[in-house]
Structure 1
Amino acid sequence: MSSMWTAAFWKATAERAVRTFAQSLAAVLVAGATNLLNVDWAAALGTAGLATVLAVLTALGAAGVGPHGPGLLETPTPQPAPRPTD
């Protein structure tokens, strides 16, 4: 079963999407070096929204690839102990 069908995957993906949205919106606002009254909010929110969509698509594309987590709300997946060889 693919890891993208788990609640943990969608919880981590939602966390990354929110974080990406906030970071990209802040970057657009800072890069514009303007005040909040003169911001082109449609462009700023559109740019942040596109970055968010790309973050979710990246998570979907990487589902099941590599080790699991951790995100801020996850704990690392413990590695199984090596089996003794006889």
Structure 2
Amino acid sequence: MWTGNFWKQAAERAVKTFAQASLALLTGDGMGVLDVNWGDVASVGALAAIASLLTSIVTSTVGEPNDPSAVRRTNP
């Protein structure tokens, strides 16, 4: 967990989670772009990103060493 690679992967997951949560709010509400409360969208996206980072930290000891995933890689 204390490597740059771990934090790069965890940050990538958090950014993707932010985007997914934000997109879910935007498309699920059926509102136009000008009608959206962007503060709410950013708040929900940030909360989802924090949850993603915390999940990466918690699972750092489960899967591969220095990897935020809980899945172990298998050799083909």
* TM-score, normalising length: structure 2: 0.82
Q: Unmatched 5+ residue regions in structure 1?
A: 80-86
Q: Work out which of the residue numbers 2, 7, 13 in structure 2 matches 1:5.
A: 2
SS at match of 1:21: helix
Read off the aligned partner of 2:50 and give its amino acid letter. Answer: V
Q: Which runs of 5+ in 2 are unaligned?
A: none
State the shift of 1:67 in Å: 3.0
Alpha-carbon distance in 1 for matches of 2:32, 2:13: 27
Where is the helix percentage greater, Structure 1 or Structure 2?
2
Q: Deviations over 1:44-75 (max 9, x none)?
A: 1101110000000000111121235598xxxx
Aligned partner of 1:41 in structure 2 is 38
Residue 61 of structure 1: aligned partner: 58
RMSD: 2.3
Q: What is aligned with 1:25?
A: 22
Structure with higher Rg: it is: 1
Q: Hey, what's the Cα distance between the residues in 2 that align with 1:51 and 1:77?
A: 26
Q: What TM-score results when the alignment is normalised by the length of structure 1?
A: 0.73
Task: Count the aligned residue pairs.
Answer: 72
How many Å separate the matches in 2 of 1:78 and 1:28? 36
- Counterparts of 1:26 and 1:62, CA distance in 2: 26
How many angstroms apart in 1 are the aligned matches of 2:53 and 2:68? 16
